[in-house]
Every structure is written in structure tokens, then in C-alpha cells.
Amino acid sequence: MAKKKTSKTPDTPPFEEALDELQQIVGQLEEGSLGLEDSLSRFETGVALLRTCYSVLEKAEQNIEILTGIDADGNPATEPFDATATIDQSSGSAGRRSRGTSQATDDESESTLF
């Protein structure tokens, strides 16, 4: 598998460093020993680090692949991870009653079975 080039800018820290610094900032703000200006400055830095962490995690989620089986050569077969909600994928009307009747007809019950 070829390595992908990262699009990080020189001032963007790696995820682990950003998370460590964010934890330090939270600790400093919780202590309450910083002055107002220093607290605001650290808070702004923390927000930027948080955005960096979320961005990295979102990109990682998009790269996750689902193992779907094994091909004829014994290699794992994968497909891209679909991060859409499963509620968006449902198309049937199982469990719903049609208006005006309390029982489903034979055609309706056959179409909603597993």
C-alpha cells in the first residue's frame, strides 16, 4: 500500500501533540490561576486545537474500510466505510399500518417480511 502525503501545514501539530496541548490548556483554565487575557488567549488556542483534532478524526473516519470477506487469493476484501446514518438507508414500511385498515393485506405482509 502506498503512503499518502499529508496535507498538514507546518504550524498544524500532529493529532497526539494537539490533544496533549489541549489537555494542558484545559487543566490551566480549570485551575483558574491565569489572568483574564492569558485565559482568553489559551481558550482561543484550545479552540483551534480542538478544531484540528476534530478534522483529523473526521478524515480518519472517512478512510476506514469495512472488511467484507476474503477474495479467491485469500486477501481481505474491503469496501469504503459509509458514515451515513442507517435511518437514511431504510426504504421499507415495515411495522406501519396502512390508513383505514387495522390489518395488512396479503400483498403488504409479504413485502415487509425479512
pLDDT in tens, 19-60: 999 999 999 999 999 999 999 999 999 999 999 999 998 888
Poorest-pLDDT segment among 10-24, 40-54, 78-92: 78-92
35 backbone φψ class: left, alpha, beta (φ>0; ψ -120 to 50): beta
Residues in the chain: 114
Which domain covers residue 77, as residue numbers? Answer: 12-82
User: How high is the pLDDT of residue 54?
Assistant: 93
How much is the pLDDT for 114? 46
Q: Strand, helix or coil at 80?
A: strand
Cβ partners under 8 Å of residue 22, min gap 6: 46, 49, 50, 53
- What is the pLDDT at residue 113? 52
Residue/partner pairs of 20-27 with CB below 8 Å, 24 or more apart: 21/45, 21/49, 22/46, 22/49, 22/50, 22/53, 25/49
The confidence score (pLDDT) of residue 5 equals: 44
In a domain, 94, yes or no: no
The structure's pTM equals 0.51
As for how many domains the chain has, the answer is: 1
Q: Is residue 111 part of a domain?
A: no
Side chain identity at 82, as an amino acid letter? D
Asked whether residue 103 is domain-assigned, the answer is no
